Every structure is written in C-alpha cells, then in structure tokens.
Amino acid sequence: MSSREKLRIVHCFRSPVGGIFRHVRDLCDAQRAAGHEVGIICDSTTGGSYEASLIAELEPRLSLGVKRTPMQRHIGLGDISAARRAYGVVRDMRPDVLHGHGAKGGVYARVFGTLMRMSGQKPARIYSPHGGSLHYAAETATGRFFFSIERMMDRLTDHILFVSDYERRTFEQKVGIPRAPSTLVYNGLTADEFAPVETLSGASDFLYIGMMRDLKGPDLFIDALALTERKIGRKLNAVMVGDGDDLDRYKHQALQLEFGERIRFLPAMPARDAFSLARIMVVPSRAEAMPYIVLEALAAGRTLIASAVGGIPEIFGQSSPALTQPDADAIAQKMQLALADEAAFHALMPEKGELRARFGADVMAASIETAYRASLDTKR
C-alpha cells in the first residue's frame, strides 16, 4: 500500500471519559490532519456535560462522524442487542482500519472486523488494551474468564498496540505471547501542553484529578491526607476533580475524617485548569497502563506524587523518590516529604526535554500509522 494512500479509520471504544477518550481524540486530530477520514463509535450512556462538550467540539472535525450507541460496561445479555446495533453502525462506515480501545472496544472491533471480512469488506483489526481486562488478577475466576477471551480474540487481531512496556509484559504473563504482531507506542502530548501552568494564589496543598472509582485511588488520597495532617500537626486542604458513581461515598469519607469544606470536590474539567488549584498533585492509582494525567502534569511543570504501578515508573524512572506504593501510609509519607521542602521535591521531576522526545503526539501518531499500514499490507 502506498504511504500516501488515505485511510478510512474508525475508533471503537466504550466509555468516552478519561485516558482512553483523550488518546482517541489526539489520534483523531493527528489522523485527520494527515488527510485520513476518521470516525468514532462509543457508548451513549456514560460521560457528563464535560465529555459531551468534548464530543460536540470534536464531531464537526471528523468526516465519518461520532456515532453513539448504548454499550454496557459489564458482560451480559444486553451485549447481544448492543453489539448488533454497533455492528450495523460500523459496517456502514466502511473502515479500512477498525481500531478497538479497551476491553469492550477491543472485542467489538475485532469481532466486527472479522464479520465484515465475511461480507467482502477487509478492515485491519487493531487492538489497544489500555489496561482494560489486564487489571484483573490471573488467579481469580474473573481474570481467567477475561484472559480466555483475550486468547480467543488474539486469533482475530492484526496488530496490538501497547502503551507501556509494563502493559506488554502483563499481557504476555496473563494472556500469553500474542500471535499478532505488536508495537510499543507511548501516549503522546502536543507541543502546547509543555507550557507551564502557574499555581493560583491561595491554592490548596494537594490535588487529585481522575475518575471517582476505587481503581484510581481517591479513597487512598483522602486517607493519606488525614494521616499526613495528624503527622505534621497542622490543617491541610485539597481539591478533588472528577466524576463517577462513587463520588458520594468519597464525600462521605471526607466528612467522616472531619475535612468538611477543606476538601473541595469539583466536576471534571480540563486538566490544565485543574493543575493551578493546588501546589502538589497526587496520582494514587491502584492500577494503570500509561496515564495521560501524569504526562500532562509533568509537561505543565507540576509537582507530582504517583503510584509505582503500570507504566508510571517508565515515565519517572524506576528509582524516583516521587513514586509510592498505592497505600495510604506510603502516600502519606511522600506527602510529608513533599511538604517538608517543596522546591527540593519539585527538582525530582523528570526533565521536560526528555519528556518531549519520548512522549510527543507526533511520534505516537506516526508509529500507529506505521502499524496500520503494515497490517493492511500483510492482509492484502
């Protein structure tokens, strides 16, 4: 296939929130700028007003549009009708490349692509796990079930794109060495995201940004804040930015620990708007693949404490003192260290030039297009 031949690319994923949605938006913009026809299919039942505004901004730029249809999070009988509807939408978009993101999007894209081949269309079936089912423990019944599905789906896959070496190693350990070719492609940032964000006057001590679910550790953040406060003997305050089904539980947890108004809960907003609200940011996740929020914060010059999970140590370096275990006591110790000398702790952050070279959006998009074309060439 000619490197100049334009492609019809459809991105399939379930939830239009968080890092996967950010990743897809960046890819769509880069691919559209390269002259490709690009579209999205995703769930219509998740995401709030902030995500709706992002979709409304993105849709006019995509020649194949943004198609939304109900996709339930958990596997169930509803998947049959949901998959049937989604398949009809994707088939009518006639993609050359069908790129599935996350567990549900990955299954849909590969199954749909295989069915389309039976009817004469021949899309390349690309899969990006983004953590997804790999977060489950291998010894659990749920994990064994999902990993058996991953092994079956591997036979329907033309290329796998891993966002971190950790994700690739985890796939090999839990699922097996993939039959399909694979490429490590780090998430990437645009040039304007490396502009520094200044801290507002009167900003809070600590900041959490993310989905309000235990996997991301907001409960650990609140517990660690309380432990730190007791240890240093002075009142602390924080801002927590994000939406999710468990938000009320975290608000109750904050009240129980007598933080009251000293933890402000704010709805999802652009990350760069949130960065200015506190001096030190904490990413207390229990599991990650390659979180954009860490890259965005470091590119903006923010001071960061982050869990040493997933691909995060690949950003900081394995031995960085800014890394912590996803445990309230361990996070509290890092909070105390950061507060003791904020300038010295900030000096531990990765250098911006290195971040630009490894995590640029242009590098990411070029590597992914190379994988697309290799898959199409092999298929043809």
pLDDT at 111: 96
Residue 365 has a CB neighbour count (10 Å cut-off) of 20
Same domain assignment for residues 366 and 354: no
Same domain, 285 and 353: yes
Rounded CA-CA distance 152/330 in Å is 39
CATH of the domain at 177: 3.40.50.2000
Instruction: Report which residue type is found at 146.
Output: F
* pLDDT tens-digit map of 172-215: 999 999 999 999 999 999 999 999 999 999 999 999 999 999 99
Judge if 178 and 273 occupy the same domain. Answer: no
- State the Cα torsion 315-319-320-325 to the nearest 10°: 90
108/328 Cα distance (integer angstroms): 37
CA 122, chain centre distance (Å)? 29
* pLDDT recorded at residue 69: 94
Instruction: Assess whether 328 and 350 both reside in one domain.
Output: yes
Q: How many CA atoms lie within 13 A of 99 on its CB side?
A: 27
Q: Which of 35, 21, 7, 105 is nearest to 371 (CA)?
A: 7
- Do 186 and 357 touch, CB atoms closer than 8 A? no
State the pLDDT at residue 72.
84
Average pLDDT over residues 295-301: 97
Higher pLDDT, 48 or 215: 215
| Burial (CB count <10 Å: 0-12, 13-18, 19+), residue 11 | buried
My answer on whether 345 and 368 are in the same domain is no
Q: Are residues 103 and 13 in the same domain?
A: yes
pLDDT of residue 207: 98
Q: What is the pLDDT of residues 20-42, one digit of tens each?
A: 999 999 999 999 999 999 999 99
The parent domain of residue 82 ranges over 8-188+360-379
Of the candidates 79, 65, 122, 50, the one whose C-alpha atom is nearest the C-alpha of residue 379 is 122
Q: Which long-range contacts (CB under 8 A, 24 or more apart) does 73-79 make?
A: 73/14, 73/15, 73/46, 73/104
Instruction: Please check whether residues 244 and 370 belong to one and the same domain.
Output: no
pLDDT tens for each residue of 254-281? 999 999 889 999 999 999 999 999 999 9
**Total domains, the chain:** 2
pLDDT of 380: 54
Same domain, 342 and 241: yes
Averaged pLDDT for residues 349-373? 93
pLDDT at 47: 87
Do 253 and 368 belong together in one domain? no
Neighbours of 270 (CB within 10 A): 12
- Which secondary structure element, helix H or strand E, spans residue 295, and what is its range? helix 292-299
Residue 1 above 70 pLDDT?
A: no
Per-residue pLDDT reduced to its tens digit, 110-165: 999 999 999 899 999 999 999 888 989 989 999 999 999 999 999 999 999 999 99
**What is the model's pLDDT at position 3?**
58
* DSSP 8-state secondary structure symbol assigned to residue 189: B
User: What are the distances in angstroms from CA 72 to CA 16, 42, 76, 132, 149?
Assistant: 13, 11, 8, 14, 17
Report whether pLDDT(304) > 60.
Answer: yes
